[in-house]
Structure 1
């Protein structure tokens, strides 16, 4: 028998109950979720590499033996500072890199289609486990039951103050404040452009965007995603399952059928 959870209106009042789809009964596979997350994460990485001729554009040749000096290739000519200096090899001034990054390096990981679907279904099921949600650090009151389901009017909210009123009534606004009050990183991370961390708070899953992305656009850590596009990257940031998720009732009905097939065929 499927599990039933309460449904809330956009004013935060209970309006009934809804049966969760069978995908929420899939066992939570942490190992598969983490592997799927990093596989999808690598597909967004940009290949990088150095100029293949960097450090090699030189007239340097070795003088050979019998000169009383090292047999390194040296720049031709005389009468200027670069003449006679070693060049064209690694470990010398203005020389090439010994093992530079290459653009043809395979930096993305692959994952079987059925494994990826099972990982997505497992990550969806993890959003309904209160212990996993709290283990991620989300601030959630005892009075709320996960997953949080709101009527389809959620998708039409286009003003931040209306969305904030809903989250405050449900007791979920504290989780956004948790992200907003984070301090900056120190140390080498701040030198390298990573001083301002971006934590993850509430995930809003809807069937269609009728203005909700505009309402949630400036909320720290809040993401809006369509049910047909939901992935492990959204449901389990960092590969850790149990993100605090708010679903619209239409989003529950519009989950991909491939996820139901995973449940029918078994994990």
Structure 2
């Protein structure tokens, strides 16, 4: 059965494709950026590239973070408005007077005020307001999510995908995947992390993501005034001092290998994020996602 194309933007379509010949080994770099040793890559890096499944998983993960919301109880109903349809209430009735027969505000001395309460009136309630009972989270099959995670991990070593996300300027002798010795996890100062990034030639990419841009639209008034880019994803084997130190850098995300998610590996549904792995994290990755 032929694979269908998947829309990835306005007028853009991409076919799910099989990954290129997967790499078998990677160079382990020292804290100074010099090759130190070679190590065998886990089998998860040989997973086929499927952007359609990755995008589904990202949408599902992002929907899990949404918070239920609803209108205030009694919103639009706090009014003295009332509809009088009985002829005995002649001084307030609207029958045969050439005016809409709707609830109106009670005025002093029997006057008729503006229409209230009904959905199409000024200050009235909404016809179908949002409810907290609505299920905002979207589901995805467990096996499908696992495949999306494996595919997103494999995409981090695809140079075509990584350079296609606006990072052409960082490629000056850098080979993927970026693997650094486990001593990186012992660093405790942000300055030390910045020096390592400089030796690995990642400073330009990190500075690119540190710039802020004002968001277009009403989001500026809703707590989302600025937009910042995404830079390096640092994957550690455990919770260590380097986690807090690296998180201080703009655009840098830090995660333990057991907590990897598709949204972190493919922000916005675009796979190929520049990822820095520690030597121990790759060993643990092989244990977690070994082919069975």
Superposed pair shares fold, TM > 0.5: yes
Change (3 A) 1:237 1:68: same
Distance 2:286 2:107 in 1: 70
Describe the SS at the equivalent of 1:62: coil
Task: Point out where structure 2 has 5 or more consecutive residues left out of the alignment.
Answer: 1-21, 86-94
Tell me if the contact between 1:185 and 1:197 (Cα under 8 Å) persists in the aligned partners. yes
| Equivalent residue in structure 1 for 2:282, among 249, 252, 259 | 252
1:48-197 pair list within 5 angstroms: 48-64=69-85, 65-76=95-106, 78-79=108-109, 84-138=113-167, 139-185=169-215, 188-197=218-227
- Shift of residue 170, structure 1, vs aligned partner: 1.4
Distance 2:110 2:258 in 1: 66
1:150-200 CA-to-partner distances (Å, cap 9, x unmatched) read 111111111122212211111111101111245434564444443321210
RMSD of the TM alignment (CA)?
A: 2.2
Question: Aligned pair count?
Answer: 261
Describe the SS at the equivalent of 1:17: strand
When normalised by structure 2's length, the TM-score is: 0.82
Distance 2:179 2:259 in 1: 18
- Residue 234 of structure 2: aligned partner: 204
Task: Point out where structure 1 has 5 or more consecutive residues left out of the alignment.
Answer: none
- Residue 12 of structure 1: aligned partner: 33
Describe the SS at the equivalent of 2:289: helix
Change (3 A) 1:46 1:155: same
Higher relative contact order (Cα pairs below 8 Å, separated by 6+ residues): 1
> In terms of Rg, which structure is larger?
2
More strand by share: 2
Distance 2:53 2:72 in 1: 38
Describe the SS at the equivalent of 1:75: strand
- Shift of residue 110, structure 1, vs aligned partner: 0.3
